[in-house]
Amino acid sequence: MNLHNIGVIGAGTMGNGIAQICAVAGINVTLLDISAGALEKALATVSKNLDRQVSKGILSEPQKHTALGNIHTSTDYASLANAQWVIEAATENLELKRRVLQQIAANVSEQCVIASNTSSLSITELAAGVNAPERFIGLHFFNPVPVMGLIEVIRGLQTSDTTHAQAIELAQYLGKTAITAGNRPGFVVNRILVPMINEAILVLQEGLASAEDIDAGMSLGCNQPIGPLALADLIGLDTLLAILEAFYEGFQDSKYRSAPLLREMVAAGYLGRKTGRGFHTYG
- Exactly one of 5, 119, 183, 258 is catalytic; name it: 119
15 is in an annotated binding site: yes
33 is in an annotated binding site: yes
12 is in an annotated binding site: yes
- Exactly one of 116, 140, 183, 258 is catalytic; name it: 140
CB 48 within 8 Å of CB 90: no
- Exactly one of 16, 190, 198, 258 is catalytic; name it: 190
274 is in an annotated binding site: yes
DSSP class per residue in 39-79 = HHHHHHHHHHHHHHHHHTTSS-HHHHHHHHHTEEEES-GGG
Q: Does the active-site annotation cover 198?
A: no
218 is in an annotated binding site: no
Contacts of 63 (CB under 8 A, 6+ apart): 24
Q: Does the active-site annotation cover 74?
A: no
10 is in an annotated binding site: yes
Q: Does the active-site annotation cover 28?
A: no
Spatial distance between the Cα atoms of 218 and 234, rounded to a whole number of angstroms = 16
- Exactly one of 152, 183, 198, 258 is catalytic; name it: 152
97 is in an annotated binding site: yes
Q: Does the active-site annotation cover 190?
A: yes
List binding-site positions. Answer: 10-15, 33, 92, 97, 119, 143, 274
Residues with a known catalytic role: 119, 140, 152, 190
List binding-site positions for NAD(+). Answer: 10-15, 33, 92, 97, 119, 143, 274
